């Protein structure tokens, strides 16, 4: 029987592991298919405090793991297939085997949605990105024309943020009006640097041969016309999907599958806690995920301590 099982090994998972390990609870971290989480897919992280020159994403996550393991966190490269939260102790099916836990911290993150067009995958981190806050300030985007794809609040926020860096921001949307809230739409559309491109979809990101983004191919839905728009960066903001399918029916989520914390980081199930992007559709940053992991670690420790009194 494990005292604490942490599902996920991104910043939220490793920080929860660090805190529960230092509380001498010997947490078991189940890494899932992506040990280290999303940050391992990026080369340079410039906004994680403590690294004035920036830090390689893979290195940052390896250091988090080492720090948690130093205090007794146990690592298993397992994928959780299903959970039973109907009674305590909780049962998790991990790669066909069973793990039993007094408390569980869910830190399974979220995946960004892809356009699924040619060039998108090949040029990821070479001008294609899914996070303006993370990458917008990079030198390659400064004073350059940029493209944001999407029409919701996130797309507007990304476009507005990018006005600080790009020369012009083309906001590409498949409809003839934004589906963002009125306040966000108004803010975006009244910014002189943001140019909407209506009724249009990106059909290809250019230029794989040059190994960097030079533009996008567009198709106008209404006229059928095809065109090329030059740009140095493509910021895709068409939504995030939390990695929470295995918890469906076991725990309270919102309509999009984000887990809803109730008291601090506790969920509606006593003894199950949540941290990071699987419960956060607003900030989605490594530092906020790590902060939530810290809170979940402390909440789990206090929950167990209160029970043992």
Sign of the alpha-carbon dihedral angle for 3, 105, 294, 54: positive
User: Quick check: is 278 catalytic?
Assistant: no
Q: Cβ-count burial of 167 within 10 angstroms (0-12 exposed, 13-18 middle, 19+ buried)?
A: middle
Q: What angle is formed at CA 42 by the lines to CA 8 and CA 139, rounded to 5 degrees?
A: 145
287 forms part of the interface with ligand FAD (CB under 6 A): yes
Q: At its nearest, how many Å lie between ligand FAD and the CB of residue 68?
A: 13
User: Quick check: is 134 catalytic?
Assistant: yes
**Rule CB under 6 A: which of 174-233 touch ligand FAD?**
none
297 forms part of the interface with ligand FAD (CB under 6 A): no
Q: Which stretch binds ligand FAD (CB under 6 A): 171-179, 261-269, 286-294, 296-304?
A: 286-294
Q: Furthest-apart CA pair in the chain: how many Å? A: 71
Reduced to 3 states (helix: H, G, I; strand: E, B; else coil), residue 8 is coil
User: Quick check: is 131 catalytic?
Assistant: yes
Please pick, from the candidates 130, 141, 165, 258, the single residue that binds ligand FAD as defined by CB under 6 A: 130
| Cβ closest to ligand FAD, residue 28 vs residue 197 | 28
CA-to-CA distance for 113 and 241, rounded, in angstroms? 7
| Cβ closest to ligand FAD, residue 82 vs residue 86 | 82
Residues 6+ apart with CB under 8 A from 176: 198, 199
**Mask for 12-31, x = binds ligand FAD (CB under 6 A):** xx----------------xx
CA 61 to each of CA 47, 58, 82: distance values in angstroms, whole numbers, following the listed order? 14, 5, 26
Residues labelled as active-site residues: 131, 134-135
Q: Contact residues for ligand FAD (CB under 6 A)?
A: 7-13, 30-35, 37-39, 41-42, 45, 47, 79-80, 107-109, 130-131, 134, 243, 246, 276-277, 284-287, 289
């Amino acid at each position: 029987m494990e005292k604490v099982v942490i599902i996920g090994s991104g910043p939220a998972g490793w920080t929860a592991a660090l805190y529960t390990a230092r509380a001498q609870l010997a947490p078991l971290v189940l890494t899932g298919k992506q040990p280290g989480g999303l940050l391992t897919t990026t080369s340079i992280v410039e906004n994680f405090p403590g690294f004035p020159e920036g830090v390689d994403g893979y290195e940052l996550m390896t250091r988090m793991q080492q720090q948690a393991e130093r205090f007794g966190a146990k690592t298993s490269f397992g994928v959780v297939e299903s959970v039973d939260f109907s009674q305590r102790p909780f049962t998790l099916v991990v790669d066909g085997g069973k793990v039993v836990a007094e408390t569980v911290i869910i830190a399974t993150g979220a995946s960004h949605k892809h356009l699924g067009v040619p060039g998108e995958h090949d040029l990821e981190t070479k001008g294609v990105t899914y996070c303006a806050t993370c990458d917008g300030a990079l030198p390659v985007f400064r004073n350059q024309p940029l493209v944001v794809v999407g029409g919701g609040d996130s797309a507007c926020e990304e476009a507005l943020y990018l006005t600080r860096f790009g020369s012009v921001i083309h906001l590409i949307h498949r409809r003839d009006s934004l589906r963002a809230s009125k306040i966000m739409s108004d803010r975006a559309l009244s910014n002189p640097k943001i140019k909407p491109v209506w009724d249009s979809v990106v059909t290809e990101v250019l230029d794989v041969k040059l190994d960097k983004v030079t533009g996008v191919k567009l198709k106008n839905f209404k006229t059928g016309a095809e065109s090329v728009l030059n740009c140095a960066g493509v910021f895709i903001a068409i939504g995030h999907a939390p990695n929470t399918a295995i918890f469906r029916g076991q725990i309270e989520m919102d309509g999009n599958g984000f887990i809803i914390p109730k008291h601090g980081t506790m969920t509606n199930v006593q003894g199950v806690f949540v941290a990071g992007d699987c419960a956060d559709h607003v900030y989605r940053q490594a530092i906020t995920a790590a902060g939530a992991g810290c809170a979940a670690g402390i909440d789990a420790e206090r929950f167990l301590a209160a029970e043992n009194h």
